[in-house]
Structure 1
Amino acid sequence: MDHTEIATVVQGTVGYLDPEYMQTSQFTEKSDVYSFGVVLMELLTGEKADSFDRPQEKRSLAMHFLNAFKENYLFDVIESGIVKDENKEEVMEVAALASRRLRLTGEERPSMKEVAMELEGMMMMNKHPWVAVTLSLIWRRLNTC
């Protein structure tokens, strides 16, 4: 009765949970940033975060996506309808934004406010029609999640 803390259990799908939380059981505001990175990555790839239908090395979409980003075969994992010759640079920017959200430690991730500012800045800086269409598609998908 004289306790002021409330004990709660974090629930969620394994593919979306912050790896740092999985190790430390400490849930922070940066844990949500990781989950957002997973959603953004799913929007770019058209794939689910975790799937037992994929081979072992591709089962975790986050690991597969980060490896593709690092090893320069990212466009092989991006959903085909998103990438066009005219917007490859912008798609790479969004992929980089997603990869920064997927960093293993929360300290290395930006805040959600910084994420929103980056996305809005990308939309405002790019006035070309194909950029607007690509970012609008991603933005609309985010708003419907």
Structure 2
Amino acid sequence: MWKKIHSNRDPKDTLYSEIRKEFGPYFTMVSNMGKRLAESYPKFLFGAMIFLMALSLVLSFTVFHHQDKAKINTVKKVSPIEVGFDQIMQATGNIRETLRLKKMVDTISAKKQLTGADSALLDSALDRLSKTHQSLR
């Protein structure tokens, strides 16, 4: 069905060698300009390097310094009655949601002809029903 393509590429040809072949003169030109600049202004470049390192040191201890904020661990005293009541309320909400979704699915599935909106509503209701069912476990 698909014809195999055989590559007769030289294994010595790599991405780096091809880029160097294509852009080599430009790399050489930039390298020569950098050497001439370094030979012409060595004290200026040394001073610039020292200035940038000092600036980096100052900025790292002032602007970019993040103080570790002390985390205050407050212990909430929660009674088991409150936890149990919250669980009961959540379960009640899940049951109400399940009943509402079941009623919606039943009314939509009772129709003889479904529209696109009905299909989308049924699909979303079934998704929410499965998510509610998974949260009950």
Scaled by the length of structure 2, the TM-score of the pair is: 0.24
Rg comparison, structure with higher value = 2
Which structure ranks higher in relative contact order (CA pairs < 8 Å, sequence separation ≥ 6)? 1
Give the TM-score of the pair, scaled to structure 1: 0.23
Higher helix share: 2
